[in-house]
Structure 1
Amino acid sequence: MLMKSKTAPAYYTSKGATFIGDSRELLEELPDGSVNLVITSPPFALQRQKEYGNLDQHEYIDWFLEFGRIVHRKLRDDGSFVVDFGGAYMKGVPARSLYNFRVLIRMVDELGFFLAEDFYWFNPSKLPSPIEWVNKRKLRVKDSINTVWWFSKTEWPKSDITKVLAPYSDRMKKLIEDPDKFYTPKVRPSGHDIGKGFAKDNGGAIPPNLLQISNSESNGQYLSGCKAVGIKGHPARFPAKLPEFFIRMLTDPGDLVVDIFGGSNTTGQVAEAEGRRWMAFEALPEYVAASSFRFLDKSVSPELMQALYDRIVAGESVSIEDFRRQAELAL
């Protein structure tokens, strides 16, 4: 691990570790210029207080910039900072808050980040919200989009979109197979002559900045583990496909990925599977303990899951590999 001090992780694998504490303090223990990617979904600036903690909108922006200032120093020159922000309404009226856009502008103007690209996460399974304006009064449509800002430390962050190509449509597959049968070159209104050169198999289509990803997981190992030990899962998990997209596009195997609001540690699970080194920081021990279930398989008994959960909550530093070996011996 890169930590300068002797801060012990709550649990760790051969590739990464999860730490309990304030991310601002934990980030300071990392060397400057050591992180390839910070990707996270912080508590949103909502009007209703959530159990995982969130600030009023007027306090939120200054609070978030404290983290952004430290992240800027810890990133490598070609590193990136990807942040998922949910939208919100102003208090008591059907008018949108601009907090996420104000964060964007201040991150660039005050902290020196560049906006490499803006993404929009479309979650078709998102519930109608807020109920008052959507379901009751029927004044607004369902809000199904989160803004995802891709910040970079310089104008030239590491990036390779060939790692996140989308599957070709059936029509494109037919076009690649037989261009003469399915396409006649035409001149566009701009005067640009489109030939058949694009009918080449590049392994997939270039993805758009609108990411359609449902957030409806109901039977993964994490939730199964929470159910087995009788605790609630984190109420604001993001789907694995979201960090997977950016981890693949913005990092290489062996690079360091950090999540500063770890929650249920989806980021760590994905980074582990993708062969990246990773760190996750989370303030609440109960969330950290439950997130360890992501690194177990379904053969682990509820009793052993409970034992792991209790050890982490009690402050023990647990090797997941050692725990898995013990679990196998207990079968």
Structure 2
Amino acid sequence: MERIYTTKKGELFLGNFTEVYSEYLKEHYENKIQLIITSPPFPLNNKKRYGNLTGEEYLKWFESFAPIFSSLLKENGSLVIEIGNVWEKNRPVQSLLHLEALMNLVRHPYANLRLIQEFIVYNPSRLPSPAQWVTVNRIRTIDSYTHVWWIAKSDFPKADNRKVLRPYSSSMKNLLKRKKYNSGKRPSEHYIGEKSFLKNNGGSIAHNFFEMKPLDEKREVRLPYNVLSFSNSSSNDYFLKRCRELGIKPHPARMHPGVAAFFIEFLTDENDLVLDPFAGSNTTGYVAEMLNRRWIACELKKEYVEQSKIRFEDPIFAQKEEV
């Protein structure tokens, strides 16, 4: 374990997460972390260079973190995990491995965890996969989304969906201008009052579905405001631009900064503590720093730790200090 760098809000450790936990986090941060958010190595059937395990080995590895995560989280803290689908090796059959991993995690007898809600991150621009069955044999469709599991120690973790509103639709904006709509009983048997939708709340409640890029360029994608800001801001291109300039191959499985921003704002307040145990190029730390949260990140591979430093060279941090 080695602390590689610190910032105004956080610190990054090079090393195996279980070692960082036993040598540092266990003593200093038990029951103090508000949010653990991570995109761990996916349980693929063929090993990738970023270090994933396979099969039963992965299940045991994944389950072992349940009591560790639980001990670090505050009683009202949250655990957010992004993970992709898995396919059986050499077969056009989807594996249950990722679902078994979830079940083992939340059913661990000493962790007291439960699944709060599932989210879907849909990216229509993803490359066709699994390639053998999609582009060669043409017998499956493109696997174009990942799961995000929101897990917690209690039924009521800290959360406020008013902090992650999405823009109103055009029809809702018109309704607010007209100050009237068709009220009364609906076919669903819900009763809509005469003033139920006349209050302007600044936006509509977010859905548990993130469409990161539109299928139809003419159609507006109504992601939450903070997801949009991290998706559209040119500052988010800084990391990839610098990697290209320096001839660095960026981490191949980066969490989208907009997704990290959504959960950090939804589930924490400023100066709360956020942890990413499998940080990769440290999207979590970058976003947490931007949103004025304290953070801790751990990463096993030195090449990803080194490239993560680029994120904090982003000129946007200097601009924030000047304001």
Give the TM-score category using the shorter length: 0.7 to 0.9
Amino acid paired to 1:104: L
Q: Over alpha carbons, which structure has the higher Rg? A: 1
Aligned pairs (5 A) from 1:137-176: 137-176=137-176
Amino acid paired to 1:210: F
1:267 to 284, 291, 295: 284
Distance in 2, matches of 1:27 and 1:37, equals 15
Encode CA deviations 1:140-171: one digit per residue, 9 max, x unaligned.
11111111110001111000000001110111
**Structure 2: which 5+ residue stretches go unaligned?**
214-230, 319-323
Name the structure 1 match of 2:221: none
Name the structure 2 match of 1:208: 207
Name the structure 1 match of 2:20: 26
1:248 to 241, 259, 265: 265
Are 2:62 and 2:105, in contact at CA under 8 Å, matched by a contact in 1? no
Are 1:16 and 1:279, in contact at CA under 8 Å, matched by a contact in 2? yes
- SS of equivalent residue, structure 2 residue 139: coil
CA apart distance, 1:225: 2.3
Name the structure 1 match of 2:256: 239
Name the structure 1 match of 2:303: 286
Are 1:225 and 1:290, in contact at CA under 8 Å, matched by a contact in 2? no
Are 2:39 and 2:83, in contact at CA under 8 Å, matched by a contact in 1? yes
Amino acid paired to 2:16: D
My pick for the range that moved more, 110-119 or 264-273, is: 110-119
Are 1:125 and 1:216, in contact at CA under 8 Å, matched by a contact in 2? no
CA-based RMSD: 2.1
Distance in 2, matches of 1:39 and 1:238, equals 10
Encode CA deviations 1:270-306: one digit per residue, 9 max, x unaligned.
000000000110011111011010011369xxxxxxx
Encode CA deviations 1:198-219: one digit per residue, 9 max, x unaligned.
2321111111111222499997
1:13 to 2:7 alignment: yes
Distance in 2, matches of 1:164 and 1:90, equals 37
Aligned pairs (5 A) from 1:214-233: 214=213, 220-233=237-250
Distance in 2, matches of 1:191 and 1:98, equals 38
Name the structure 2 match of 1:59: 57
Encode CA deviations 1:54-96: one digit per residue, 9 max, x unaligned.
1112211110112222111110000011000100111111111
Distance in 2, matches of 1:71 and 1:238, equals 19
Amino acid paired to 2:202: G
Name the structure 2 match of 1:305: none
CA apart distance, 1:228: 2.7
Name the structure 1 match of 2:126: 126
Amino acid paired to 1:13: T
Distance in 2, matches of 1:37 and 1:192, equals 36
| Structure 1 runs, 4 residues or longer, greater than 3 Å off | 214-219
- SS of equivalent residue, structure 1 residue 287: helix
Distance in 1, matches of 2:285 and 2:80, equals 15
- SS of equivalent residue, structure 1 residue 244: helix
Are 1:217 and 1:239, in contact at CA under 8 Å, matched by a contact in 2? no
CA apart distance, 1:26: 1.1
Distance in 2, matches of 1:191 and 1:149, equals 32
Aligned pairs (5 A) from 1:183-198: 183-196=181-194, 197-198=196-197
- SS of equivalent residue, structure 1 residue 9: strand
CA apart distance, 1:125: 1.5
**Structure 1: which 5+ residue stretches go unaligned?**
1-6, 300-319, 322-331
CA apart distance, 1:250: 0.3
Distance in 2, matches of 1:191 and 1:220, equals 48
TM-score, normalised to structure 2, is: 0.86
CA apart distance, 1:233: 0.8
TM-score, normalised to structure 1, is: 0.84
Are 2:84 and 2:147, in contact at CA under 8 Å, matched by a contact in 1? yes
